[in-house]
Amino acid sequence: MRKRSSGASLIRAVGGTAAVAALAVGMVGSANASEVRPFAEQARAAGVSERQAAALQADIDRRLAGIPRATQTGFNQISFPEGVTRTFDVPGAPKAAGAPNCGGGSFCMYADADYEPPSGHGGTISFWKCGDYDLNNSDYDFLDKATSLHNNQTAGTYAWAGSRNGGGWDHVYYGPAPYSTPHLGGGSDTADHVWLCEA
């Protein structure tokens, strides 16, 4: 189960989070506060109020100040060069059901059951490169938060998510793409590690 390909990229993302991230990176370049204001228009288009957007931007600015390698790639998201995009809660957004919406070639975990709704409540972490990811990383801020997931890697590509249990591991998810589940059951809020491109 631990046989993996090298750190090659997953299939190029053609939609969803990774595609938005790629477009946004091209639009704004680096992530200092003066350059991320164009995301205000993106927030308005998503139905986010100016007050919500301002609170969210202040939180993202605070995060970016402590994570030099990260870049803002959406009004509510930042991306990391190792192949991770983190989407954050929209303050005051109502909790509601969403749909599996992980970009092509990516693996996504959602903080809420029933995925991430259009309102932006809950928060998401998506991975778009093969590799091992330790969620016990304060930069990601997603330790023990996954409640639903969508494996939208190339068809047949395996992913594994689990949590440490003494000297071993408890499995939260293991299987090939495509796959999605609106609730991880007993594994909810326990995942602390992800391996992508399992074989």
What span, in angstroms and rounded, lies between the C-alpha atoms of 123 and 86? 8
- Can you spell out the DSSP letters for 24-92? HHHHH-S--GGGSTTHHHHHHHTT--HHHHHHHHHHHHHHHHT-TT-EEEETTEEEETTTEEEE-PPTT
Match 């803002």 to its residue by tokens.
72
pLDDT digits (tens, 9 = 90+) for 26-41: 333 344 444 446 788 8
Structure tokens at 187: 């594994």
Give the N- to C-terminal CA distance of the chain in Å, as an integer: 6
Q: Provide mean pLDDT across the span 95-113.
A: 93
What span, in angstroms and rounded, lies between the C-alpha atoms of 81 and 144? 22
pTM as predicted: 0.79
Residue 73 pLDDT grade (very low, low, confident, very high; cuts 50, 70, 90): very high
Domains of the chain with bracketed CATH: 16-88+104-198 (2.60.20.10)
pLDDT at 17: 41
Q: Which residues contact 121 (CB under 8 A, 6 or more apart)?
A: 89, 90, 93, 94, 95, 96, 112
Query: Taking all residues of the chain, what is their mean pLDDT, rounded to a whole number?
Result: 83
